[in-house]
Structure 1
Amino acid sequence: MTQELATRYPLVMVPGLLGFVRVVVYPYWFGIVSRLRQGGAKVFPVMVSAVNSTEVCGEQLLQQIERILRETGAAKVNLIGHSQGALTSRYAAAKRPDLVASVTSVAGPNHGSELADYLGRSFPLGTVRRRLLNGSMRLMAGLMRLLETGYRGPKLPIDVDASHQSLTTEGVALFNHRCPQGLPETWGGQGEELVNGVRYYSWSGTLQPGRSDRGRNRLDGTNVTCRLFARTFTREVGHCDGMVGRFSSHLGTVIGDDYPLDHFDIVNQTLGLVGKGADPVRLFTEHAERLKAAGL
């Protein structure tokens, strides 16, 4: 085994909404964890509530971090969060910066998701449509829990409304007031990389006709889903990955915000079927090298 990706601190991979460690034999971080481990990195994909508020998920993540530190003897961890997992990671770092060396946001809705705003308008609280939407989310989360084989901890609570509110522009604005670390001062800018001893990074993608909808993505239904979801965007129309806007994703040092990757492609879903010329796994291996070079 080589050691070119062996970071000083373990890499903790935090999933987003409806996330999992492994469904039957299929991993959330398809091809990513295995490649990082091949390079010598210590990698821990973790589980938090598949559907719940950022704060609830953040407290669960802190428990996981403490467990990993006990098991490895490491002093800190590097958190890598996808989608809502980025907010979950930010919460943990804000509350316990002594335990976190870095936070990396991968397509994180760090200023909220316009898709979440649209769903809030289209499915208002108290309506039949909202109850049906919530029921379908609970059903999906319950089914995935039954099929989960990579997590063996206690049953984690589900709260659909709390999760939705955590992802809206309004909800994330409240969260950002409490956890501002790494946020840009201007829209579309970069934030401070080092805050309270924690380094902050981010990257994200955008839907790019002729690239992200070509290649193996022609066989990937999630790419079609992202293209449909992108129609709900108004502020960042034409500049989103289907679920998160390009500039909304910015946190700390922005490694890139226009990779030809939709919201699922960026973590190599589904089965590594991504757009023409895209290589999401390489983004993670390059970042491990970046963290290692920074002494993290």
Structure 2
Amino acid sequence: MTRYPIILAHGLGVTDQGGLYTPWGRVPDLLRARGAVVYLGGQDAWGSIETGAAQLARTVRRVLREQGCRRVNIIAHSKGGLEARYLISNMGYGRYIASLSMLSTPNRGSRVAELLLYARPGVALWACGNDAYWSRHGDEKPDSLRAGEQLTPAYLVRFNRDNPDANCVFYQSWGTRIGTVHPDGAMMLTRGLFYPAHGASDGLVTPASARWGLYRGTLDGVSHQQVVDVFRKDAPGFSVKRFYISLARGLAEKGL
């Protein structure tokens, strides 16, 4: 299908084996059934952007070695897109990355992260417990407070300044947005709690924040979790199969 292998890079709070939810659902099998070579990113659930980028770098090196290829495509969800951007721009991996496709990545930050960090009492105590839990369950270097701080709008201003796009990489992005009624209860809760400050969103990230590179559009009626097939079923008006096959086909048509 695609010229180069695909790495699927997950977002915050999960690993490739699970966590708050299990990312990607049917997507790896869908793409492999169409002939794509697919790997999972291998990042921590609650690591910093720097930690996740270093773990992605390890996966990229593995793919290049095992597949005998020169470059890879990365499809990244949420914070995974920031880790991929750091990998490309700060770690000098642009020459190994053919494309970066970002789904609901908070490229300009998330007000939800900001409000949770600075408005809720006890967040430091929670972070300590969360880090201890994930240290026992697979994370190499969990740092919940740092990971949260790196998703705030103020931090992303600096991040964007310090991580300019690489000319050799094709960047594209999609945003998602849910309305006032949606079956994803968790994302409806965060949308409802933070709507006045956050605006219309997928529960965590606004389409305006997700826009980066070539913006392919906003997927309406799709939550932050649904876009990575957490529930392993299609949302009304959104076919997981059609979306990801179209994404991969678009890369292939570009020779990527």
Give the TM-score normalised by structure 2: 0.91
1:295 match: 255
The Cα shift of 1:236 comes to 4.5
8 Å CA contact 2:98–2:170 kept in 1: the answer is yes
Question: Quick one: distance in 1 between partners of 2:41 and 2:64?
Answer: 13
8 Å CA contact 2:112–2:198 kept in 1: the answer is no
8 Å CA contact 2:174–2:210 kept in 1: the answer is yes
Alignment match of 1:206 (pick from 167, 177, 193): 177
2:188 match: 227
2:161 match: 177
* Residue 170 of structure 2 is aligned to residue 196 of structure 1: no
Q: Which residues in structure 2 correspond to 1:40-55 (within 5 Å)? A: 40-55=35-50
8 Å CA contact 1:247–1:257 kept in 2: the answer is no
The Cα shift of 1:291 comes to 0.2
Question: Quick one: distance in 2 between partners of 1:174 and 1:159?
Answer: 19
* Residue 244 of structure 2 is aligned to residue 284 of structure 1: yes
Q: Secondary structure at the match of 2:14?
A: coil
Deviations 1:189-232 (A, max 9, x none): xxxxxx4210000012101245xx1xxx3xxxxx1111111131
Q: Secondary structure at the match of 2:201?
A: coil
* Residue 26 of structure 2 is aligned to residue 31 of structure 1: yes
Q: Which residues in structure 2 correspond to 1:21-170 (within 5 Å)? A: 21-23=16-18, 28-94=23-89, 95-123=92-120, 129-138=122-131, 141-142=134-135, 145=138, 156-170=140-154
Q: Secondary structure at the match of 1:48?
A: coil
The Cα shift of 1:278 comes to 2.1
Deviations 1:106-129 (A, max 9, x none): 110000011001112213xxx6x1
1:184 match: none
8 Å CA contact 2:98–2:169 kept in 1: the answer is yes
- Say how many residue pairs are matched: 252
Question: Quick one: distance in 2 between partners of 1:85 and 1:140?
Answer: 21
1:220 match: none
Q: Could you say if the C-alpha distance between residues 22 and 159 of structure 1 is closer, same or farther in structure 2, counting changes exceeding 3 Å?
A: same
8 Å CA contact 1:203–1:249 kept in 2: the answer is yes
The Cα shift of 1:144 comes to 5.1
Aligned-residue CA RMSD in angstroms?
2.0
Q: Secondary structure at the match of 2:235?
A: coil
Alignment match of 1:260 (pick from 221, 245, 255): 221
Unaligned runs of 5+ in 2: none
The Cα shift of 1:240 comes to 0.5
Q: Which one-letter code corresponds to 2:55 in the other structure?
A: Q
Q: Secondary structure at the match of 1:79?
A: strand
Q: Which one-letter code corresponds to 1:159 in the other structure?
A: D
Q: Which one-letter code corresponds to 2:140 in the other structure?
A: L
Unaligned runs of 5+ in 1: 1-5, 146-154, 182-194, 218-222
Deviation >4 Å, runs of 4+:
none
